[in-house]
């Protein structure tokens, strides 16, 4: 039996003439096109010497062709290695040297840099791919046949390696198997009620688990369609919305929608579901979106290493500030970060998960892999959370973001929730900075639309009414916008470095 994820995709197709991908400029690719183009691309890889288990590194702009390339890698049994388009040559050198791919595919503008890196890291071939369906890789495709016999693999064979962002240290390659990806996509398609009648708005990058696996794999397994937006464009997104039924986005997307005068309830009348992930969605954004549109955004929780772990229910109460329940076949528990002992309901501890979605480990890092798993198979996420009396899970921050001030623990998410409710504050980030007396000082970085009407004293006074004194920020820093990475995650590590001398005398 062939346990290749692509075989599962192929068996899920009910109508090959149904549209798989459409672009905002009117170009469409049907499921039959997906089969033929992924076959052509697989034949190219085969011609270039790519074998089962080889890595294929890709750093290109978003386009339908990139998704066909991902599927071609699955078909040939290769390991797909997508790289963030913002990575510099220095960072790319690290990834290629670590993963040792057989070939690398890049933007034409990056060709010279990639060829230099390839010579130093042993990459055999470098090809180019543009987002306008041009490049040396596309030129080769015209010479290849579209028929290709999908290579047989086992469930535990690797389908992809995704490098973590490296915000807390050196980037690690998370190894994801065919079964890791299949099991999660099957669960999500059923849990979120996806069907062939759905059309997904896809504004996400496709070098990350959210846009590549959560969005794309779920669509493929439900036989649905997607509108592939090359880059997030708020005006274009609003114009496209009446033609879609669902959307997957990050909190920044929903904040931008709410800030646009063009975004109305009427624009969302054909939509059945809005999903948010990759970063925490503030309760205020959740409530504001509901008041404007009548839609309650569904927030879920996942990681590069695990795909999706939890989700607010499709049918049932979607509680702002929570990430819902553990998904079917996924075990979630809260444990003491130091001892690993499971904690009682309501206590704050590290979130640990176990299930078929959990990755195989870190590429060439057996000791790091062993350190991140408990003896009973639970993966230690490093995220701090708690489970309430109804079973809803809340994320209170990263273990490394925990602030210890004067010997007392402060969870940033608690302070941020109060801050975000202050009139005029768009969003906030709470960090701990070195302090001569307290060890760490609670510090707020605030983005506000009416910041001229707010000041440090007013904010601290308001917070003092709802928080214990030791949790109230000692300083409030005003900025135009919070520093984020490409997936919308707030870069607290960078902020801590930026303001590390704030309390020095």
Q: Stretch 424-429: mean pLDDT, rounded?
A: 88
pLDDT for 182 equals: 98
Helices (H), 156-207: 178-191
- Whether 193 is covered by a domain: the verdict is no
pLDDT for 451 equals: 59
- Whether 187 is covered by a domain: the verdict is no
Q: Stretch 456-472: mean pLDDT, rounded?
A: 88
**Same-domain pairing of 365 and 429:** no
**Same-domain pairing of 388 and 409:** no
Final residue of a domain: which of 164, 180, 196? 180
Q: Which class for 164: exposed (0-12), middle (13-18), buried (19 or more C-beta within 10 A)?
A: middle
Nearest to 15 by CA among 222, 199, 301: 222
pLDDT for 167 equals: 42
**Same-domain pairing of 408 and 393:** no
pLDDT for 1 equals: 83
**Same-domain pairing of 340 and 277:** yes
pLDDT digits (tens, 9 = 90+) for 298-318: 999 999 999 999 999 999 999
**Same-domain pairing of 316 and 283:** yes
Final residue of a domain: which of 165, 180, 195? 180
**Same-domain pairing of 237 and 313:** yes
**Same-domain pairing of 410 and 484:** yes
Q: Are strands 28-30 and 158-163 parallel, antiparallel or unpaired?
A: unpaired
- Whether 361 is covered by a domain: the verdict is yes
**Choice among 8-17, 201-210, 444-453 with the minimum mean pLDDT:** 444-453
**Same-domain pairing of 44 and 121:** yes
Sheet containing 173-177, strands listed edge to edge, beginning at the edge strand earlier in sequence: 125-128, 103-106, 55-59, 79-82, 158-163, 173-177, 361-362
Q: Are strands 403-405 and 408-410 parallel, antiparallel or unpaired?
A: antiparallel
CATH of the domain at 411: 3.30.300.30
Distance CA 228, CA 232 (A): 10
**Same-domain pairing of 369 and 425:** no
pLDDT digits (tens, 9 = 90+) for 50-97: 999 999 999 999 999 999 999 999 999 999 999 988 888 888 999 999
Give yes or no for a contact between 54 and 18, defined as CB atoms under 8 angstroms apart. Answer: no
Q: pTM of the prediction?
A: 0.85
pLDDT digits (tens, 9 = 90+) for 350-369: 999 999 999 999 999 999 99
Q: Which class for 232: exposed (0-12), middle (13-18), buried (19 or more C-beta within 10 A)?
A: middle
pLDDT tier at 171 (50, 70, 90 boundaries)? confident
Query: How far lies 212's CA from each of 48, 248, 434, 482, 505, in Å?
Result: 24, 11, 38, 25, 48
CATH of the domain at 244: 3.40.50.12780
Domain that holds residue 371: 232-398
pLDDT surpasses 60 at 169: no
**Same-domain pairing of 242 and 378:** yes
Final residue of a domain: which of 370, 398, 426? 398
pLDDT digits (tens, 9 = 90+) for 106-145: 999 999 999 999 999 999 999 999 999 999 999 998 888 9
pLDDT digits (tens, 9 = 90+) for 240-285: 999 999 999 988 899 899 999 999 999 999 999 999 998 788 888 9
pLDDT surpasses 70 at 407: no
**Same-domain pairing of 242 and 115:** no
**Same-domain pairing of 135 and 277:** no
Beta partners for 441?
Answer: 433
pLDDT for 168 equals: 44
In 63-191, at which residue ranges do the beta strands (DSSP E only) sit?
79-82, 103-106, 125-128, 158-163, 173-177
Question: What is the number of domains present in the chain?
Answer: 3
- Whether 87 is covered by a domain: the verdict is yes
Distance CA 252, CA 215 (A): 17
């Amino acid at each position: 039996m062939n346990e290749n994820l692509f075989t599962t995709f192929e068996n899920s197709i009910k109508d090959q003439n149904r549209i798989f991908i459409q672009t905002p400029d009117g170009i469409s690719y049907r499921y039959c096109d997906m089969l033929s183009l992924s076959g052509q691309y697989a034949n190219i890889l085969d011609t270039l010497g790519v074998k089962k288990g080889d890595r294929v590194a890709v750093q290109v702009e978003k386009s339908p062709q990139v998704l066909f390339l991902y599927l071609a890698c699955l078909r040939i049994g290769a390991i797909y290695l997508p790289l963030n388009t913002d990575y510099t040559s220095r960072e790319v050198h690290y990834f290629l040297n670590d993963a040792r791919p057989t070939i690398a595919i890049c933007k034409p503008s990056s060709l010279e840099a990639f060829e230099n890196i390839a010579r130093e890291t042993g990459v055999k071939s470098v090809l180019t791919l543009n987002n306008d369906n041009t490049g040396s890789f596309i030129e080769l495709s015209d010479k290849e046949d579209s028929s290709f016999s999908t290579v047989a693999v086992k469930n535990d064979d690797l389908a992809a390696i995704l490098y973590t962002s490296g915000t807390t240290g050196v980037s690690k390659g998370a190894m994801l198997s065919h079964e890791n990806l299949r099991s999660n996509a099957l669960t999500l398609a059923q849990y979120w009620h996806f069907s062939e009648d759905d059309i997904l708005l896809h504004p996400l990058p496709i070098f990350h688990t959210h846009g590549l696996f959560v969005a794309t794999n779920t669509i493929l397994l439900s036989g649905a369609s997607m509108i592939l937006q090359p880059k997030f464009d708020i005006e274009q997104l609003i114009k496209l919305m009446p033609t879609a039924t669902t959307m997957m986005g990050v909190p920044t997307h929903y904040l931008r929608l709410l800030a646009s005068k063009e975004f109305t309830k009427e624009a969302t009348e054909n939509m059945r579901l809005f999903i948010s992930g990759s970063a925490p969605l503030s309760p205020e954004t959740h409530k504001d979106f509901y008041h404007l549109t009548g839609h309650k955004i569904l927030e879920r929780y996942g990681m590069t290493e695990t795909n999706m772990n939890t989700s607010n229910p499709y049918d049932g109460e979607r509680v702002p500030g929570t990430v819902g329940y553990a998904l079917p076949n996924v075990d979630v528990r809260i444990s003491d970060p130091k001892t690993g002992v499971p904690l009682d309901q309501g206590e704050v501890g590290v979130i640990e998960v176990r299930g078929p979605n959990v990755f195989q480990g870190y590429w060439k890092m057996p000791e790091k892999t062993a350190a991140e798993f408990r003896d009973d198979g639970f993966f230690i996420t490093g995220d701090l959370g708690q489970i309430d009396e109804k079973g809803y899970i809340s994320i209170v921050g990263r273990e490394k973001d925990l602030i210890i001030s004067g010997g007392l623990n402060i969870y940033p998410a608690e302070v941020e929730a109060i801050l975000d409710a202050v009139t005029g504050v768009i969003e906030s980030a709470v960090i701990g900075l070195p302090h001569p007396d307290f060890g760490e000082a609670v510090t707020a970085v605030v983005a506000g639309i009416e910041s001229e009407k707010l000041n440090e004293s007013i904010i601290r006074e308001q917070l003092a009414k709802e928080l214990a004194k030791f949790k109230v920020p000692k300083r409030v820093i005003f900025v135009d916008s919070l520093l984020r990475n490409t997936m919308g995650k707030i870069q607290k590590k960078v902020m801590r470095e930026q303001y590390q001398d704030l309390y020095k005398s």
